Structure 1
C-alpha cells in the first residue's frame, strides 16, 4: 500500500485542535507503516488589494512567526504521541493557497491526514473548506480526524468498511483490510442493499433480500479474506441508508473506511453523499478512498 519514497504520511497543519488530533493519528499510522511523517504548513499569500507597504511587511513577519510557532507546537504534539519510537519527521513550509499546495504534495504521499475543521472564517463548518476540497482533489487516500474522536481505549476496536461493490468501494476494501491487518483488529464490513430508508411492505420477504446481501458481501470479500487470513471479518447487511449505520458503527471503531463515490444516482459525483455524511458525523477518524 505504500511506496518506498515520497513524503510518507503527509499532515496539513494549522495549529487548530483538529490539526493536533490529525498529527497524533498520523504519528501512530507512520509507526505502523514504518514510514516518515511530513508536516506541511502553508503560509497563505497576502491579499493583493492591500496597499500599505508597512502593514504588509509587518503582516508577513507575523505570518512567519506564527508559522514557526505552529510548527514548534506541532512537533511537541507528535513527540508526545509516540514517545518511545517516534517516526522520522520532515517539516515543509510552503507559500501559496493551502488547497493547491496540499493537493500537489498529496501526489507524492502514501496518504494525507487533515483535521476535519481548521482555523479561519470557515473553521466552524462541519467540514472545513480545505479538508472538503482535498476529499475531491487529493492524489492519495484522505484521512479526516476530529478532535476527541481518537481515544486511548480504541486500540482493540475494529476497522469499519462500507462496501457496495463499486470501483471506489473496491479500493476502500483494499485499504481497510490493510489497516485491519496492521492494527491486528477485526474488520466490520457493512453492506446496505438500499441507499434509501426502506420500510417493510406487505408481502415483502426481508430474509430473501438479507440472504442476497450476504451473498454479495461474501463474493466481494472472498479474495481479500484469502489475501489477509489474519483478519477476522464481521459482516453486516442492512436495509437502510448506509451512512446512518456507518456513523452508528463508528462509535465502536477506531477507523471508518469509505469510497469517495459509489453506486446509484450519485455515482457521477466526485464525492458521494454517503462519504460526505460519514466524514461529517462519524465518531472515529474517517478514511475516504478514491477509485
Structure 2
C-alpha cells in the first residue's frame, strides 16, 4: 500500500523513516519531516507488520501523525508511505539503498522497558549504506521539538570515518543554523617509562591534530560557531557528557582504534545506547575496489549528508 501527498522534489533521494506508533517513532517522524524540509527532498514513511496481526494494518493511516504542527513545520515536503509485511530491520535496510538518510526511533513498541536503544534501531545503524539518525524521545516520552534548540556535537579522532562525521556535522549545523561542539578525547597511552613522552608535548600534538581535522570543514562551511574541546577521558563518556541540551550528536561508525570488519565501534555503540539526544551514525563511503581519500569521501558524501 502506497500513499503520496504534497509536491515533487526533482528526483532527489528521500529521507527514510520507520514508524510503528510508538513514542520513539513519533519523535523520529517529527525529526525526519523537518530533516526532509531542510534537505529539500521527499520523505518516505515505512511501516512493517508480521502475521498474525491483531489490528487491521491496511486501515492504518501512515501519514496521520503528519497532520498536525509537524506538517506546518514542513509544509512543502512530498510524503510517500508504504506498508510492508515482514521484519522491520531488513525492510528498512532494503529501502535504505534508495535513501540519502534513515531516521529511526530509539525503541519501538516491542522494545523492553529500560532499554534506550532497541534491536531494530541498532541493526539499522550498524548496517545501513547511508547515515542513520536514531531519535530518542525526551525522558517524559514526548518528541524532540522541530525547531533547533541546541548545538551539534561531533566526535573527532583523526580517522577517515571521523572526517566524514565532521562533514556531516557541519552540514547539519548549517541547515539548522546552530553551532558545533567538536570533542576530542585524549586518553593516556600505556608505554614503558623510559619511552614516556612529556604530557605537555602530547597535549600540543593532540591540539595540532584536532585543529587540522577541523580546519578543512571550517573553510568549506564558513560562518559556523565552532567550539573545540580537548578532554582527558574515555571518548564515549566525553560525548555523552555533552549530550544534555544538544541538538544532535554525530559519531563515526568506527574510530581510529576500531577493528577491521566491525560495523559499529565501542564508542559509537556506547553513545547510541546512552546519549539522551538524537544520535547520527556516519559510515565511510567506499567501494571494494579502491580505498578513497578523505577528499573523495567528502565528495561522495555530498548527497548523503
Q: C-alpha distance in 1, partners of 2:199/2:254?
A: 27
**Number of residue pairs the alignment of both structures matches:** 267
Is 2:256 the counterpart of 1:263? Answer: yes
Q: C-alpha distance in 2, partners of 1:234/1:142?
A: 24
User: Superposition pairs for residues 16-27 of structure 1, below 5 Å?
Assistant: 16-27=22-33
The alpha carbon displacement at 1:153 in A equals: 9.7
* CA distance 1:15–1:143, shift in 2 (3 Å): same
Alignment deviations for residues 86-109 of structure 1 (CA, whole Å, 9 cap, x no partner): 221110111222221110110111
Paired residue for 2:43? 37
Is 2:158 the counterpart of 1:165? Answer: yes
Helix, strand or coil at the partner of 1:103: helix
User: Superposition pairs for residues 8-19 of structure 1, below 5 Å?
Assistant: 8-19=14-25
Helix, strand or coil at the partner of 1:250: coil
Paired residue for 2:34? 28
The alpha carbon displacement at 1:74 in A equals: 3.0
Paired residue for 2:148? 155
TM-score scaled by structure 1?
0.83
* CA distance 1:265–1:89, shift in 2 (3 Å): closer
Q: C-alpha distance in 1, partners of 2:112/2:129?
A: 24
Q: C-alpha distance in 2, partners of 1:192/1:230?
A: 25
Is 2:213 the counterpart of 1:223? Answer: no
Paired residue for 1:91? 81
Alignment RMSD, CA only?
Answer: 2.5
Which structure has more helix as a fraction of its residues?
1
Q: C-alpha distance in 1, partners of 2:111/2:173?
A: 37
Paired residue for 2:70? 81
Paired residue for 1:134? 124
* CA distance 1:85–1:29, shift in 2 (3 Å): closer
